[in-house]
Structure 1
Amino acid sequence: MGAFFYIQKSLSRLRNTKNKLLQEVNMMKLNQAEVQNHRKLGQDLELFTSMEEAPGMPFFLPKGMALRNELEGFWKKKHQSAGYQEIKTPIMMKQSLWEQSGHWDHYHENMYFSNVDEQNYAIKPMSCPGAVLIFNSKRRSYRELPVRYAELGLVHRHELSGSLNGLLRVRSFTQDDAHLFVREDQIKTEIGGILDLIHDIYSKFGFSYKVELSTRPEDFMGSPEMWDKAEASLESVLEAKGLDYQINHGDGAFYGPKIDFHILDSLGRSWQCGTVQLDFQMPQKFGCAYIGEDNKPHMPVMIHRAIYGSIERFMAILIEHYAGEFPLWVAPVQAKIIPISDIHADYAAEVKQQLAAAGLRVESDQRMEKMGLKVREAEMQKIPYLIVIGDQEVQNQTVSIRKRKEKKSNVQKLDEVLKQLKLEIESI
């Protein structure tokens, strides 16, 4: 009996130790999450701000726009090479359009409205109907399909004031939408291509991800048979790609099932970003058609798709994922030039001009402050590279460059520095 009680006591001590360690780990994660909070970093790094004049509608500062422009440029480059055509649709369209699309019945409580020329208009909460109107704007042949439209569409949704959260939950945001119009025999190939594109883009940011297949909700449009067919199509592509996935019963969009992508950040948190949605309903509601090989009209299938989810939310995730220490290619300021004194200012200006002409985002600190202060402030701004210029650099027409958090500086010719930085940027 003594041995039994000894074992029980030892197990109890182990459980207590385990619980204490778990509590400490959770507290460390909470503390780190606060350090990496995107709202704090957004202010500290001068990326974005919020103002009472426009609650839930963020103001992007110059450095935030630099980051945003890089994300959008990368997105456009990837979509162009994948065969997408970029479009832009109006922010405000007639209410009757949203009634026809089904958004009015399912979404009008989250929409903003206006009255123009005695007609009711709605500010778009999503871009799908606009893409449909463009597809329907001319006669289509089966030879044209698939038609792939991509749009960075500004949308507005009325979120409750208490739910607003920096860039994560806003009322005005830009969705990285794409709408594909395909024949039924093209569904699997096109979705397969989308899955490859999503993987390619996420991998550039170092994100791993989980996949969910969301099925028919209670409040759905169309017939159960059509839904079964759509769900089977998505499932077969996931199986063919060998992707592990979970089924999220009843969480599909009202017009079709979807594949959702949850990226995992540096703290192990999961964020739902990408989505691929199969839609047999909207083409039917809008009478979308193409002329088939039999010279008769046929209805295309519509695929809705986003990868970032929204530019704003993805920026928030990146800020927290990297704790503001962005990779060189997306860093708002890529290099900071620090002349040691006024006599080095002219050469510092020349270096800045050459770096900027090469397409780099660079600043120069010309203040009459101590060297240590300027370096510390550049470190706090999490700028990837510091370039120091003193007597030796001016005399030899070189620069002293140091990577953030590294103690050692390298003295190099400027063309060597340009080559090094461009190589690092292009490595994405």
Structure 2
Amino acid sequence: MAEVRLPDGRELAVEPGEKAGQVAEKIGKRLARDAVVAKLDGEVVDLGSPVDGAGSGDAPLFEVVTADSPDGLYVLRHSTAHAMAQAITELYPGSKLSIGPPIQDGFYYDIDVAGRLTDDDLPGIEERMREILSRDLPIERRETSREEAEELFGDNPYKMELIRELPDGGISVYKQGDFYDLCRGPHVPSTGRLGSFKLLNLAGAYWRGDENNPMLTRIYGTAWPTEKELKGYLNRLEEARARDHRQIGKDLDLFTFSPEVGAGIPLFLPKGETLRHEMESYVREVQTRHGYDHVWTGHLVNERLYERSGHLEHYRDAMFPPMTDGETSYRLKPMNCPSHMTLFNARAHSYRDLPVRYAEFATLYRYEKSGELNGLTRVRSLTQDDAHVFCTAEQIQEEFARALEIIREVLDTYGLADYSVRLSLRDPDAAKYIADDEKWTRAEAALREALDAAGISYEAVEGEAAFYGPKADFMAKDVLGREWQLSTIQVDFIQPGRLGCEYTGEDGEKHTPVLLHRAVTGTTERFMAVLIEQFGGAFPTWLSPVQAVVVPVSDEHLEYARRVEGELAGRGVRVEVDDSENTMQKKIRLNARQKVPYQLIVGGREAEEEKVNVRRRGQKTGEDANLSDFADDVVAEIAARDSYGQ
């Protein structure tokens, strides 16, 4: 008999060839009923996989994985994607499957559907999926040779392409009834073990994301262990739709897009520009308080600068094509760092000058694929609250702490206090990074030390670093629990040397500074989208494009309404008078839809007593206040920058 270790430290005897599901049964019958897969020394395996214990030495760690765990949810959603694919092939014979991975909160499958598929067809596909669940088909893994796999999928060009790329001995398929799919797995033991699901929508997707390849139908769905969890998620989706920044931006006259200007280029209306201005002014104020100097470096850059920095080699696909003037080619600027390093080189520096902190609200241009554009969250012209700190290696921790303090203050002010940190490292086997192992090692060690010194817990993830250095990415959650990558602090030992950045050290010798790249809110456009959805368009008073609207009871009260407007505007409040021909009640309703923080109703009594009837956002009745007292209160509220407003 061999043994495995359990999470509580106990050891359990296993017989040769015993399956993971059988081992789970030994631990507990209820646990076995709830199990979807297992883990063997951290590797997720099917319940039908044999468990090889150890007769001596360290026994492997065996864990049962249930559907309510992250690993279990991942497998549940993957298996639900297979059930959907089976339903499609049964309902639409001749359809060709490509790939169908689980994703956050759900799954999708890209399919070359035989016939026309619309959103109206999704309920019928769901019905067939439920039938497949009721069949309780065993889901069985089979290791196959390349020849066997090609025989199974010979009429499917997408699977054949994948098979050709797989190594010999590394090909597996999963069978459920008469349905086969090429897959690494693992999966739940049978279709009857799937939970509650819902198909959400259709989209188009190029095979492997290449616009030169065929366009496939992408079917999105979500899956959860229980019906209650599914309904909770669908309710959150409804709330997210109600907060969709694209619709709210249209309703509140914040921004628009026009094919005459071009896809991915947002145009901001007066209220949207006011919102942008307040956002940027706030970050500028905080940065200035922390010793950052603001600079400006324009929109075009000589392409040769990007050759030297490494951007042309590693970032070319994200750049717009060059514009040529004689022998010189220019690029629309996709990032600021080479320009800021050029500014640093414009004058000589000694160690006494460091750190040098440059910040810029620069509009950058990135050649995003048209299919990836999405409102303000993915655009081609973006304004970044970018900053670069030139410092010595000894100053990294102090400057990291300074940048962290700025990020914390700003995110807290916006009510985005629930965030985690991802340490994004390079994948040493990937070719997308500048090759310099010694400097990468130093940069990663310096960033880890800075995070540890700040007492920040983090998750290290390989393959997410910038091409020139590791970064600490701040992943903030909004009111709907959605995660956004917003702030970032990056450590760069490579680019300053490539662009000849130097300072004279205390020893009189020339040294290369370390460069910290830092963004607080990322890009103005994307962060605005997050804020619109965070607040549902009901911005806190300090951020609202219009902070108060004066509503006269009738035209004879317009003169006093104008006096109220003048008093508040003179105190710095963004205020308007609604002098439309609508009735008072309709004015109140329409301004409520505009989510204005305060409506000030004025009639004869208010004019006589120098008062206003204050109706706060969300309230159906107002309360009287002296005009001067209201002005004092709203000015104090704006100055306090309350995160949540009214």
TM-score range, shorter chain: over 0.9
Where do residues 91-130 of structure 1 align in structure 2 (5 Å cutoff)? 91-112=299-320, 113-130=322-339
Inter-partner Cα distance in structure 2 for 1:290 and 1:119 = 30
The alpha-carbon deviation at position 117 of structure 1 amounts to 4.1
Partner residue, 2:263: 55
Please tell me whether the aligned partners of residues 389 and 517 of structure 2 are also in contact (alpha carbons under 8 angstroms).
Answer: yes
Identify, as 1 or 2, the structure richer in helix: 1
In the TM superposition, what are the counterparts of 1:20-419 in structure 2 within 5 Å? Answer: 20-53=227-260, 54-112=262-320, 113-207=322-416, 208-217=418-427, 218=430, 219-419=432-632
Q: Which moved more, 1:122-131 or 1:362-371?
A: 362-371
How far apart, CA to CA, are the structure 1 residues paired with 2:505 and 2:315? Answer: 34
Q: Secondary structure at the match of 2:601?
A: strand
- Report if the CA contact (8 A) 2:396-2:450 is conserved: no
Between the aligned partners of 2:590 and 2:582, the Cα distance in structure 1 is 11
Shift of 1:174: 0.4
Partner of 1:421: 634
Q: State the one-letter code of the partner of 1:359.
A: G
Asked if the contact 2:439–2:494 (Cα under 8 Å) also holds between the matched residues in 1, the reply is no
Offset at residue 242 of structure 1 (A): 1.7
Q: Tell me how far 1:193 sits from its aligned partner.
A: 1.1
Shifted more, 326-335 versus 108-117: the winner is 108-117
Going from structure 1 to structure 2, the CA distance change for 1:415 and 1:237 (only over 3 Å counts) comes to: same
> Mean alpha-carbon deviation: is it higher for 158-167 or for 113-122?
113-122
Structure 1 distance, partners of 2:358, 2:618, is 43
Deviations 1:3-62 (A, max 9, x none): x99xx9xxx9xx889711111111101111111000000000100000002211000000
Greater relative contact order structure (CA < 8 Å, 6+ sep): 1
CA deviation map 1:330-357 (0-9, x unaligned): 0111011100101100010111111112
- The offset of 1:225, in angstroms, is 2.3
Partner Cα separation in structure 2 for residue 146 and residue 18 of structure 1: 53
Contact 1:222–1:281 under 8 Å retained in 2 = no
Larger of the two Rg values belongs to structure: 2
**Aligned-pair CA distance for 1:64:** 0.4
Give me the whole-angstrom Cα distance separating, in 2, the residues matched to 1:407 and 1:35: 21
Instruction: Indicate if the aligned counterparts of 1:213 and 1:259 stay in contact, CA closer than 8 A.
Output: yes
User: Which residue identity lines up with residue 321 of structure 1 in the other structure?
Assistant: Q
Deviation at 1:118, TM superposition (A): 4.3
Distance 2:581 2:486 in 1: 46
Rounded to whole Å, the distance in 1 between the matches of 2:520 and 2:399 is 15
Cα separation, 1, equivalents of 2:604 and 2:235:
46
Residue identity in the other structure for 2:328: Q
1:229, distance to aligned residue in structure 2 (A): 1.6
Contiguous gaps of at least 5 residues in structure 2? 1-28, 34-191, 197-223, 642-646
Q: CA deviation at 1:407?
A: 3.2
* Equivalent residue number for residue 44 of structure 2: none
Letter paired with 2:308: Q
Q: Give the 4+ runs in structure 1 shifted more than 4 A.
A: 15-18
Q: Deviations over 1:307-344 (max 9, x none)?
A: 11100000000001111010000011101110010110
Tell me by how many angstroms 1:408 deviates: 3.7
User: Secondary structure of 2:226's partner?
Assistant: helix
Structure 2 contact 314–433 (Cα < 8 Å) conserved? no
Number of equivalenced pairs = 418
Separation in 2, partners of 1:122, 1:315: 27
| Cα separation, 2, equivalents of 1:78 and 1:116 | 40
Provide the rounded CA distance (Å) in 2 between the counterparts of 1:49 and 1:239: 44
Residue identity over aligned pairs, in percent, reads 41
Quick one: distance in 1 between partners of 2:480 and 2:245?
A: 13
Which sits farther off after the overlay, 318-327 or 236-245?
A: 236-245
Residue range with higher mean Cα deviation, 174-183 or 15-24: 15-24
RMSD value over aligned CA atoms? 1.7
CA distance in 1, matches of 2:264, 2:505: 46
In 2: Cα distance, 1:157 partner to 1:90 partner: 15
Equivalent-residue separation in structure 1 for 2:436 and 2:324 (angstroms)? 35
Query: Could you tell me how far apart the structure 1 residues matched to 2:450 and 2:504 are?
Result: 27
State the 1:250 CA deviation. 2.1
- Residue 352 of structure 1 contacts residue 364 of structure 1 at CA under 8 Å; is this kept in 2? yes
Contact 1:63 1:332 in 2 (8 A): yes
